[in-house]
Structure 1
Amino acid sequence: MLISNGKQKLTSFTKNYKEAVIEITSGVWFVFGVGHSNAIFIEGATSILLIDTLDSLERGKKLANIIRNHTEKKVKTILYTHGHPDHRGGAGAFSESVSEIIAFEPKMAELEKTAFLKDIQTLRGARQFGYALDDNEAISQGIGIREGVVYGEQRAFVSPTTCYQQDKVIREIDGIQLELVRLVGESEDQMMIWLPQKEVLCCGDNYFGCFPNLYAIRGGQYRNLATWINSIDFMLSYPAKYLLAGHTALIQGKEKIHEVLTNYKNAMDYVLNETLKGMNEGKNAEQLASEIHLPAEYADLPYLGEYYGCVEWTVREIYAAYLGWFDGNPTNLHPLSPEQKASKTVKLMGGKENVFAAAQTALKDRDYQWCLELCDLLIQIDIDKTILEVKATALEKIAEYETSANGRHYYIACAKELRNKISKEFPDNDVVL
């Protein structure tokens, strides 16, 4: 979301991630702010059950030390709430003692031949998470402190030894009763863990302390919003006294948990219903993305700020998932190529000089989105150093308005890429803005 004090809002939100190790109830510890994600460890009769392992080997070792400071028992069992690397990157720190690693198979398999997209998804993922940015540029990763990989740390993945295909599993491990449920949401393999003896519900990434990433700008398969809403409804059916999520702080008290999860679910349901309603009225994705916003009853809640996901991106993703790329306008069945459209548009606007002057004026007037769109018209016709410099500057400026850490990273990372391109391809020309 672009607002005048976007950077300040994101910076303020990031201050929530202070390191803490809390015994929330007898034998259950919550590790918060040590890694990009959280971890939970549970004391069994003779061993420790560990839920998630943080995001790097180095942080996994720190987690192992934390566990040793509270008990002499070894980690024998690991449960992955899901397969994202920030939740299992520290698993190698426990290889010598662990005997079982439990996970769920994805409910829906990844699209075949997705591997062909490895390069572009890696590039876009690095931009989204700000891997090439310093701490001042990146601030945070929205839902937690920055991943250890940005500081040169290594991931140490260990594959699950037990991977369930059914939706629900009841087990007792070392005296601890566990109900494991596959609840699709942030991912297709998301695991909810209910500890009935402790009244503790571990929900992985199906709840964040901010608006969720219902669409990841790095690209990926549709995260079925209706299914995610149903998953939250299912979580609400449990009498949890403690809610432990994969990235946000502890939520305590049955009434508070019910209130938070209900608002979270209702906000997602509002975006889905309003988007589908507008689609049915014949509106296109861009119209809806500009019109649909969270009502104040949700937008003003501290746990629904757009610091990670974004309502605007979600609306576009819902449109594409339900109706595909075609917006119903026959003009768009066989549009001009981007180059043809840019050439004709720039000519109609009086030529490249006029458009470039307008882009410079927009930059000075802080009309950064318009500046970027004008630059893109010119870049389609001819890649010129001065245009690239103006675009890079506009990207840096608009990043200061972005509340989403992902969006902020993407703007700044692309600006840095443009400046690198300028220095390599146009080394001898000065730029005057």
Structure 2
Amino acid sequence: MLTKDGCKQLRDFTEKNYKETISEVAEGVWFVLGAGHSNAVFVETDFGIILIDTLDTLERGEKLLGIIRQNTGKEVKTIIYTHGHPDHRGGAGAFLESRPEIIAFEPKCAELEKADLLQDIQKLRGTRQFGYSLTDEEAVSQGIGVREGITHGERRAFVSPTTVYRQDTVTREIDGIQVEMVRLPGEAEDQIMIWFPQKEVLCCGDNYYGCFPNLYAIRGGQYRDIAQWIDSLDKIMSYPASCLLSGHTAAVLGHEEIKRTLGNFRNAFEYILIHALEGMNAGKSAEQLASELSLPPEYAELPYLVEHYGCVEWTIRAIYTAYLGWFDGNPTNLHPLSPGIHSKKMTALAGGAQNVWKTARKAMEEKEYQWCLELCDLLLSNDETACGEALLLKARALERIAEYETSANGRHYYLEYARELREKNKKG
């Protein structure tokens, strides 16, 4: 979302919500917030520790091991991954000395075949989304936590699970502690929740954030089934939890507060999904819906639904593509002109490249940064008018518009792309 003080909002949100905190939220249940990009939970048993997620790097995993030993004097005997994202399992290598069982679930739906052919573009877009080459000052935050350790030269140390479950629910007793693990697809296909009935503690992984989540990730990827995510939230709310521990935000305490918070989170998703589908059914395009549809104030003003990570309009476009595909129903768009031909004709219609340049520079001066970006793209798509000046003007507009972006992901993408354009211009 673009707003006048977007960068300040993001900075304030980060400073308030991700201070390092180690707390015993229930007897023998410890919650580690802000020590890594993701959170960790450790539970004391008669003979050792059950660890939920391991932070994002080896170095942070080693720090977590020290925290566990300092508070309990025990070793990690069991590790449970809430899902397979690297920021939750990258510290696992720090715990190998105690030879723990490492538990995970197999993804519910397989990745699209041949998806590995996209590894280069997804790596590039992932770097842009997460701002991996930006300084801390440029990046501000990663929206859902402190920056990943790899941005400071640390390394990931993922360890493959030793136990992989394919069923939807697994109930076990681990060293005297009852544990129920339930498959709950949402942010990830292999996402699970972990319920400790004796403690009334529920670990929900990334199915709840303290801000608007990536219902669509701009780095690219398969559709995250929002209807299924809603079902997963309903399942979480059906448990009599007194403490909800998320993979990226502060604990939610008290059964009624958990139901209220998750209920609002869930209902916001449903509002977007239903209204997007209704608009699609009425013949509206993805761009129409993205410009018209927003969360009502009762959801948009909640601190845990602010767009500091994902974005409502990105979500709407993802829903449109998932349900109706790329075609917006307008036959004009069945066989559009190529970008190069279109830009030449539009440039001519505007009175020539000089007029486009003049308008683009004026847009920059008047802080109409999105309009400037679109005019730069018109020039850059036309081989006859493309030049280094257009690259630099677009880079400047990207850097300016980034200051309006409330989403860490959007901010990073603007700044990373601007850096790429400046490097491209240097190389000629």
Q: 1:385 aligns with which of 385, 388, 392?
A: 388
Pairing 1:144–2:124 present: no
CA distance in 1, matches of 2:13, 2:353: 42
CA distance in 2, matches of 1:175, 1:218: 42
Length-normalised TM-score, structure 2? 0.99
Counterpart residue number, 2:397: 394
SS of 1:145's equivalent? coil
Question: Identical aligned pairs, as a percentage?
Answer: 66
Pairing 1:409–2:422 present: no
SS of 1:95's equivalent? helix
Q: CA deviation at 1:94?
A: 0.3
Unaligned runs of 5+ in 1: 426-433
Q: CA deviation at 1:240?
A: 0.4
SS of 2:395's equivalent? helix
CA distance in 2, matches of 1:194, 1:144: 23
RMSD: 0.5
Counterpart residue number, 1:431: none
Pairing 1:43–2:44 present: yes
The one-letter amino acid of 2:202's match is: L
SS of 1:340's equivalent? helix
SS of 1:201's equivalent? strand
Counterpart residue number, 2:256: 255
Counterpart residue number, 2:364: 363
CA distance in 2, matches of 1:162, 1:364: 59
SS of 1:69's equivalent? helix
Counterpart residue number, 1:107: 108
CA distance in 2, matches of 1:368, 1:374: 10
Q: CA deviation at 1:98?
A: 2.9
The one-letter amino acid of 1:408's match is: R
CA distance in 2, matches of 1:270, 1:340: 40
Q: 1:423 aligns with which of 407, 422, 426?
A: 426
SS of 2:303's equivalent? coil
1:65-84 equivalences under 5 Å are 65-84=66-85
SS of 1:193's equivalent? strand
Counterpart residue number, 1:325: 326
CA distance in 1, matches of 2:216, 2:336: 26
Counterpart residue number, 1:429: none
Q: What are the superposed Cα offsets for residues 319-378 of structure 1, whole Å, 9 maximum, x if unpaired?
A: 000000000001111111111111111111011111011100000000000000000010
Counterpart residue number, 1:218: 219
Runs of 4+ in 1 over 3 A off after TM superposition: none
Pairing 1:2–2:5 present: no
SS of 2:182's equivalent? strand
Q: CA deviation at 1:417?
A: 0.6
The one-letter amino acid of 1:365's match is: E
SS of 2:204's equivalent? strand
Counterpart residue number, 2:12: 12
CA distance in 1, matches of 2:89, 2:303: 28
CA distance in 2, matches of 1:203, 1:139: 26
CA distance in 1, matches of 2:45, 2:189: 29
CA distance in 2, matches of 1:98, 1:421: 48
Q: What are the superposed Cα offsets for residues 81-132 of structure 1, whole Å, 9 maximum, x if unpaired?
A: 0000000000000011133100000000000000000000000000000000
Size of the aligned set, in residue pairs, is 425
SS of 2:47's equivalent? coil
The one-letter amino acid of 1:387's match is: A
SS of 2:304's equivalent? coil
Q: CA deviation at 1:137?
A: 0.5
Counterpart residue number, 1:428: none
Pairing 1:30–2:31 present: yes
SS of 2:104's equivalent? strand
The one-letter amino acid of 1:398's match is: I
CA distance in 2, matches of 1:65, 1:100: 19
The one-letter amino acid of 2:92's match is: A
SS of 1:140's equivalent? coil
Q: What are the superposed Cα offsets for residues 58-95 of structure 1, whole Å, 9 maximum, x if unpaired?
A: 00000000001012211010000000000000000001
1:4-403 equivalences under 5 Å are 4-15=4-15, 16-382=17-383, 383-403=386-406
SS of 2:54's equivalent? coil
CA distance in 1, matches of 2:52, 2:262: 21
SS of 2:67's equivalent? helix
CA distance in 1, matches of 2:292, 2:264: 21
Unaligned runs of 5+ in 2: none
The one-letter amino acid of 1:108's match is: C
Instruction: Check whether the contact 1:78–1:98 (CA below 8 A) recurs between aligned residues.
Output: no
The one-letter amino acid of 2:399's match is: E
CA distance in 2, matches of 1:340, 1:326: 21
Q: CA deviation at 1:422?
A: 1.1
The one-letter amino acid of 2:227's match is: A
CA distance in 1, matches of 2:181, 2:411: 36
CA distance in 2, matches of 1:79, 1:242: 18
SS of 2:97's equivalent? coil
CA distance in 1, matches of 2:191, 2:310: 18
The one-letter amino acid of 1:417's match is: E
SS of 2:381's equivalent? helix
CA distance in 2, matches of 1:43, 1:155: 26
SS of 2:25's equivalent? strand
